[in-house]
Amino acid sequence: MRVIQKTLIVFMLFWLIAGTGLGVFFFYRHSYAFYFFLPVVLFGAIGVIPSSFGLLCLKLGTWKARLGLLVGYAIVLGLLWQAPIWYRNAHEAPEDRGPYLLYQGDPMTTMTVAWIAEKETAGVVRYREQGDQDWQEVRQEESTHFPKVALTGLQPDTRYEYSVPALGDAVYPFVTAPKQQKDFSFALYGDNRPFSGITFHQRVVDAVLRADADYDFRFVINTGDLVENPGAGYGWQWNLFFKQITPLAATRPYLIGLGNHEARKTSDFYDQYFDFGSGTHWYSMDYAGVHFVFLSTQDDISEESPQYAWLLEDLKKRPADTRFTIAALHKPLITYDPRESYQNTDLRGILAPVFERHGVNAAFVGHVHSYEHHYVNGFDHVVSGGGGVLLWLKPTVGPETIKTETVFHFCAIRVEGERMTVKVIRADDSVLDSFEILSKPLPEQGGE
C-alpha cells in the first residue's frame, strides 16, 4: 500500500515539477504570468487528477465509496470538457454587436455604419453634424444580419454624431477626413485571433484606447487574422471580436488586410462583415495626403494576377500631392522567424521591387506573432503581429533588422507635415521601438 502511495505522489510531483519548469522557461521568454501558469495547470492536472483519485481510493474503505468517488470525478471532468462546447454553441449565431465604421468611398464625404443584428433587420441610422438640432435618417430596406448603411454627402473635416436605433440610444461621434493635408494619427496591429479559445486582444485594445487620449486616432488598421477559422463552430469568435473592437470601431473606421485564418477554405463569412467598396479584398484610400494600399496575400498576387495589375495602376493614379504611401498586408515580405515556411521569398520578389520603384514608404504586415522592424534599400518593413494571439518563437536578427521582440503591442503612427513617426507600444504602455519615416517625392510614372 505504501509503495503505491509513494508511486502516486512521485507521479504527481514529476508532472508538477515539469509544468513549473516549462512555466519558468516560457515566462522568461514572454514575461506574461499566463505563460507560467498555463503549463503548470496543464501538466499539473496530468499528475494531480489521477494521483489524487488513486490516493483517495486507497483511503476509502469500501467499493461503494470508491465507485461514488469515480462517478464524482467523471461528472466534474465531463463538465469541464463540455463547458467550452456549450459556450461555443450558445454563441454560434450572430449576436447584436457594434456598431463599427468602415470606409467604402471617399473618406472626406462618406462614412459607412455597420453592425451585427441577432435578428434580421432593415438598417436604420440617424446622424447629424455635431451642434445641429435635427437628425437625418438613412434607411437600408433589405433585412439582414449584417446591415451596412452608407452616409453620403458629408462635409470634409467635420465632426458628426450618429446612433443605431436597433442597438439602443447610444450616440457615437466620428470625424470625416480633411480636404487639405493635415496632421493626424492612426493605430495599427494584427493577429488578435484566439488560439484554443485564448486571446489577449482585449489587452491590446485597452492599450490603444489609453493612447488615443494623446493621439486621437482617426482610424485603426488590422493586418489580419481576426479569428481562428471563419466558418461553422467559430461564430463565437466573430461575436467576441466585434464586442472587443466596438469601443474603437464605433467612433473611427476599422480597416482590414485579409488574413489567412479568416480566409481558410472560404472568405464568405469575412465578406459578410466587411466591405470596403472595391468588390475585392484589395483596395486603397487617400487620407490627408497619405495613400494607403491594402493588399490581400490570400488572393493571387503574382505578376499575372488582377491584383498585381490593379496595384500598378493604383500607384500610378496617386494624387500628385501624396506625401506618404503605406502598404498594409498580412504576410511579410521579410521576416527572420525561425520557421522556414514563414520566410516567403516569392512574395518579397514580387512586391519589394514594385514598392521600391513606385516610392512606397513602408509596408506594415502581421502573420508572425511578434514585432520585427527591418530596413532594406531605404524602405521600412514592419511586422506587427502581437495583437493578442498567443506569442510564439522569437525571430532572430538578420542583416537588415533594426529591432525585434516577441510581445503584445500595437503601432501608434503620427503624420506631421513631411514626417511620419512610428511609436511601437507594448500592452503595458511602455515603448518598444520608435522611428521616423520621411516623405519623398513620387517617382515619375513610366511603363513597367
Q: What is the pLDDT of residues 202-235, one digit of tens each?
A: 999 999 999 999 999 999 999 999 999 998 899 9
Side chain identity, residue 197: G
Residue 342, classed as helix, strand or coil, is helix
Strand partners, 241: none
**All cell numbers assigned to 179:** 480636404
pLDDT value of residue 75: 92
Secondary structure E strands in 329-378: 362-365, 371-376
Cis previous bond, 399, omega within 30: no
pLDDT tens profile 268-316: 999 999 999 999 999 999 999 999 999 999 999 999 999 999 999 999 9
In a 13 Å sphere around the CA of 172, the CA atoms on its Cβ side amount to 22
Question: pLDDT of 64-80, one tens digit each?
Answer: 888 888 899 999 999 98
What stretches of 241-386 adopt beta strand conformation (E)?
A: 254-256, 283-287, 290-294, 324-328, 362-365, 371-376, 379-384
Beta strand spans in 217-321 (E): 217-222, 254-256, 283-287, 290-294
Check pLDDT > 70 for residue 446: no
CA nearest 217: which of 20, 14, 410, 346? 410
What is the pLDDT, as a whole number, of residue 58? 84
Tell me the average pLDDT across 318-343. 90
CB atoms under 10 Å from CB of 431, counted, come to 11
Q: Tell me how far apart the alpha carbons of residues 128 and 137 are, in angstroms, rounded to a whole number.
A: 9
In this predicted structure, the answer to whether residue 448 has a pLDDT above a threshold of 60 is no
CB 295, CB 307: distance < 8 Å: yes
Q: Cell 512606397 belongs to which residue?
A: 360
Q: What is the CA radius of gyration of the chain?
A: 25
Q: How far is CA 53 from the centre of its chain?
A: 43
Give, in order, the Cα–Cα distances in Å from 181 to each of 57, 102, 157, 327, 415. 76, 21, 11, 19, 10
Angle between helices 63-90 and 33-59 (to 10 degrees): 150
* pTM confidence score: 0.93
What pLDDT score does 261 carry?
96
- Phi/psi of residue 187, each to 5°? -110, 155
Q: Say what percent of the chain tops pLDDT 70.
A: 98
pLDDT of residue 445: 61
Give the residue among 174, 245, 237 at the shortest CA–CA distance from 205. 245
Q: Please list, residue by residue across 151-175, b when 16 or more beta carbons sit within 10 angstroms of its beta carbon and e when fewer do.
A: beebebeeebbbbbebbeeeebebb
Residue tagged 503612427 (cell numbers): 413
- Could you say which DSSP state residue 192 is in? -
Residues 6+ positions from 78 with CB-CB distance below 8 Å: none
Q: Are 314 and 307 a contacting pair, CB within 8 Å?
A: no
One-letter amino acid at 378 equals G
CA distance 220 to 252: 7
In the predicted structure, residue 447 carries a pLDDT above the cut 50: no
Cell 467499493 maps to which residue?
A: 63
Query: In the prediction, which pLDDT does 10 show?
Result: 84
Length of the chain: 448
Q: How far apart are CA 5 and CA 3, in angstroms?
A: 5
pLDDT of residue 9 exceeding 90, the answer is no
